[in-house]
A = this chain, B = another copy of it.
Amino acid sequence: MSAQTAADRSDGPRSKRRVILDAAIDKFGRDGFEPTKWASIADEVGIGQTALYHYFESKAHCLLTIMSLELERSLSKFTIATVVAPDHTGRLRAAVAGAYDVSPREALSARILLAHTDLLATERPARREEAERQRARTLVRAIEDAWASMAQKGMDDGIFAQRDARQTSFALLALVNSVWRWYRPDGSRSLAEIAEFIADACVRLVGDDPAPASER
């Protein structure tokens, strides 16, 4: 359901858009965005340069599209994962679990998004790039709002400690997202283990400060 995004809906049955995006995710995610030649995506998918430019006006346009689709997925996942949670702590845990309930390609997308967030800070020269950047920025704000609202509600009900909800949400998202920087599918830690470690860390983060005890 969450895969049924605005971008997907614009694809006709013979559209190569999704195939190009998948090939680009694999290349950008494994080899890096900068070293990947845009023409190599066309070769990968078996289409010509002209057809490639029909879908994306540049490599950056494709990257920005991957980023906003990943943000859409992340927001959908948050919404679905948290809607049935029984209480505030359960909702926070469900949000974290949802963030790591991803396919290998979604994990690559999350990694690409994290590595290129700075691209969202400055205006793009090309029209379609700029439109996709604006879309991504709107989604980033919506995700931050969703996490801040979750934190605020837990504070309002006295379950989470009273703090700045916005700054708390940045800290929670930092913990959750930073994993994509080092996570590798063939690494020593499974996503399930990581999800539990980070969920526990997030619960401590919204909890009370420990009493200042002398260490001596």
Total identical chains: 2
CB distance from A109 to the nearest CB of B (A): 14
B-contact 0/1 string along A165-208, CB 8 Å cutoff = 00100110111011101100000010000100110110111011
Closest to A189 in B: B167
CB distance from A186 to the nearest CB of B (A): 15
Q: How far is the CA of A76 from the CA of B110 in the complex (A)?
A: 32
Q: Is A164 an interface residue (CB 8 A)?
A: yes
Task: Kindly list chain B residues whose C-beta atoms are within 8 Å of the C-beta of A189.
Answer: 167
Q: Which residues of A, 107-122, contact B by the 8 Å Cβ criterion?
A: 115-119, 121-122
Q: Is A215 an interface residue (CB 8 A)?
A: yes
Q: Which residues of A, 144-182, contact B by the 8 Å Cβ criterion?
A: 157, 159, 163-164, 167, 170-171, 173-175, 177-179, 181-182
Task: Mark the stretch among A4-12, A13-21, A30-38 that contacts chain B.
Answer: A30-38
User: How extensive is the interface on chain A, given as a class?
Assistant: 35 or more
In-complex Cβ contact of A201 among B159, B205, B208, B216 (8 A): B205
B-contact 0/1 string along A39-57, CB 8 Å cutoff = 0000000000000000000
Q: How far is the CA of A119 from the CA of B34 in the complex (A)?
A: 8
CB distance from A148 to the nearest CB of B (A): 13
Task: Kindly list chain B residues whose C-beta atoms are within 8 Å of the C-beta of A116.
Answer: 118
Q: Which residues of A, 79-108, contact B by the 8 Å Cβ criterion?
A: 86-90
- What 5 pairs across the A-B complex have the smallest Cβ distances? A174-B178, A115-B118, A87-B215, A32-B122, A207-B210
List 12 additional contacts besides A115-B117, A171-B197, A204-B207; criterion CB under 8 Å. A32-B118, A32-B119, A34-B122, A35-B122, A170-B178, A170-B182, A171-B175, A174-B175, A174-B181, A201-B205, A203-B210, A204-B209
**Chain A: residues with CB nearer than 8 A to chain B?**
31-35, 86-90, 115-119, 121-122, 157, 159, 163-164, 167, 170-171, 173-175, 177-179, 181-182, 189, 194, 197-198, 200-201, 203-205, 207-210, 215-216
